[in-house]
Amino acid sequence: MPSFSARESSRRHFLKQVSAIGLAAALAPLASPSASARGDSVATTRSGRIAGLRDRGIHVFRGIPYGDTSTRRFRRALPETPWTGVRDATRFAASAPQRGDADGQPVSEDCLFLNLHTPGLRDGRKRPILFYIHGGGYNNGSGSHPLYDGANLCRRGDVVVVTVNHRLNAFGYLYLGEHGDERFAESGNVGQLDLIQALHWVREHADEFGGDASNVTVFGQSGGGAKIATLMAMPEADGLFHKAMTMSGQQVTAAGPRAAAQRADLLLREAGLEPDELDRLLALPMARLLEATRARDPSRVEDTSLYFSPVLDSRALPRHPFYPDAPAQSARIPMIIGNTHDETRAFLGGDPANFALTWEQLPRKIREQQYVDLAPDVVIAEYRRLYPDYTPSEVFFAATTAGRSWRGAIIEAEERARQGAPAWVYQLDWRSPAEGGRLRAFHTLDIPLVFDNVDAEGSRTGTSERAHRMATRMSDALIAFARHGDPNHAGIPHWAPYTLPRRQTMVFDDASRMEDDPRGGERRLYESVPFVQRGTF
The order of strands in the sheet holding 113-118 is 53-55, 58-65, 113-118, 160-164, 127-133, 211-221, 243-247, 335-340, 423-428, 504-508, 513-516
State yes or no: is 108 an active-site residue.
no
Q: Say which residues have a Cβ less than 8 Å from residue 441's Cβ, sequence separation at least 6.
A: 340, 341, 342, 428, 429, 430, 431, 432
**Beta carbons of 161 and 190 less than 8 angstroms apart:** no
Residue 518: asked if its preceding bond is cis (omega within 30°), the reply is no
Could you tell me the CA-to-CA distances from 445 to 371, 491, 508 in Å, in that order? 22, 20, 12
Exposed, middle or buried by CB within 10 Å (0-12, 13-18, 19+), for 283?
exposed
| b/e map 321-336, b = 16+ CB within 10 Å | bbbeebbeebeebbbb
**Beta carbons of 155 and 453 less than 8 angstroms apart:** no
Report which of 537, 494, 486 is spatially closest to residue 512, judged by C-alpha positions: 494
**Beta carbons of 291 and 267 less than 8 angstroms apart:** no
Sign of CA dihedral 278, 173, 328, 164: positive
Residue 423 DSSP one-character state: E
Looking at 41, 142, 222, 475, which residue is catalytic? 222
**Beta carbons of 309 and 173 less than 8 angstroms apart:** yes
3-state secondary structure of 526: helix
* 211-221 and 243-247 beta bridge pairing: parallel
Map 252-283 to HEC letters.
CCCECHHHHHHHHHHHHHHCCCCCCCHHHHHH
Q: Say which residues have a Cβ less than 8 Å from residue 190's Cβ, sequence separation at least 6.
A: 74, 75, 76, 77, 167, 171, 172, 173
Report which of 422, 435, 363 is spatially closest to residue 392, judged by C-alpha positions: 363
Helices 362-369, 392-401: inter-axial angle, 10-degree rounding: 10
Separation between Cα atoms, residue 334 and residue 242, nearest integer Å: 7
Separation between Cα atoms, residue 153 and residue 219, nearest integer Å: 13
- Catalytic sites, residue numbers: 222
